Amino acid sequence: MFGRLCCVDSGVAPASELRDANASLVAVERLPDEMNGMKIRDERQMEAIVVDGNGTETGHIIVTTIGGKNGQPKQTISYMAEQIVGNGSFGVVFQAKCLETGETVAIKKVLQDKRYKNRELQTMRLLDHPNVICRALAYIHNCIGVSHRDIKPQNLLVNPHTHQLKICDFGSAKVLVKGEPNISYICSRYYRAPELIFGATEYTTAIDIWSAGCVLGELLLGQIFRKGLPPEAVDLVSRLLQYSPNLRCSVLEALVHPFFDELRDPNTRLPNGRYLPPLFNFRANELKGVPPEILVKLIPSHARKQCVLFAS
């Protein structure tokens, strides 16, 4: 499974070029050495063209130009499509290889449907976070103002070596503006919040909280937690799956729930014996406005040196 998705083709290309390539390029980290070194790029000067074909068949080459921002020189990178690794309602993901570096990447070809507005590229350009489920949701909800609107197991990527989790596929994501209507027929059926099922058009990011609760409940019922059903897990799921969106706990409240206390233990290790991935390296914008009593519960004393807020 791909461990991290990073937007490479994050510039705005002319419409003609988009019709030719129709692709946003996303790089996959090398496991595990480069996990923390990659981030979503925000290159303003970007072009994407396909050499020999439309980029949907094995062996076709996609060429993209990055750079040109803040005086940086432009750089041309070429990718060869190898095979299809995933299909969705609005796009196809290909495994490809960077010809310059040999790096394995994923290329998402977005299918342009005039009936729907595609916001994925614009949303990806806003994101810069190491865990893009609860901390990632806190970031996109509170820092960016984006609702993912399609949280489900297929959109949660886990690095099998480090167990670091990423949220992917922002094809349904949207900035929710209070008072403005939104489509209710959104989110995969089994993870769809009740208000969406009943046709609500003015909803909040609480729909993602419901979906996260469904995922956690599925893990519990699927025997992922081999020790049975911890009461703390059941309590957390019950707080996430409140029928009324106003009664669902926030993502920050979920993060300080006792269910996650084991992750705050400095002696906790992964099943393979490795250390946990960085969990508490919060940035200032992630903690803006968070009450001190939540901060104390959220970040254990041994990990506060990782956090910018405490370090300063």
> What are the binding residues for ATP?
109
Distances (CA, A) of 6 to 108, 127, 291: 11, 9, 32
* Collapsed DSSP state (helix, strand, coil) of residue 61: strand
First to last CA, the chain: 37
Of the listed 150, 208, 261, 265, which one is catalytic?
A: 150
**Residue 103 token pair:** 């790096």
**DSSP letter, residue 267:** T
**Other CB atoms within 10 A of residue 129 CB:** 19
Rg (CA), the chain: 20
Distance CA 53, CA 60 (A): 6
Asked if 296 contacts 258 with a C-beta cutoff of 8 angstroms, the reply is no
Distance CA 250, CA 297 (A): 15
Annotated binding site: 109
Please confirm, yes or no, whether 20 is among the known catalytic residues: no
Asked if 243 contacts 129 with a C-beta cutoff of 8 angstroms, the reply is no
Asked if 224 contacts 163 with a C-beta cutoff of 8 angstroms, the reply is no
Query: Where does residue 309 fall: left (phi above 0), alpha (psi -120 to 50 degrees), or beta otherwise?
Result: alpha
Active site residues: 150
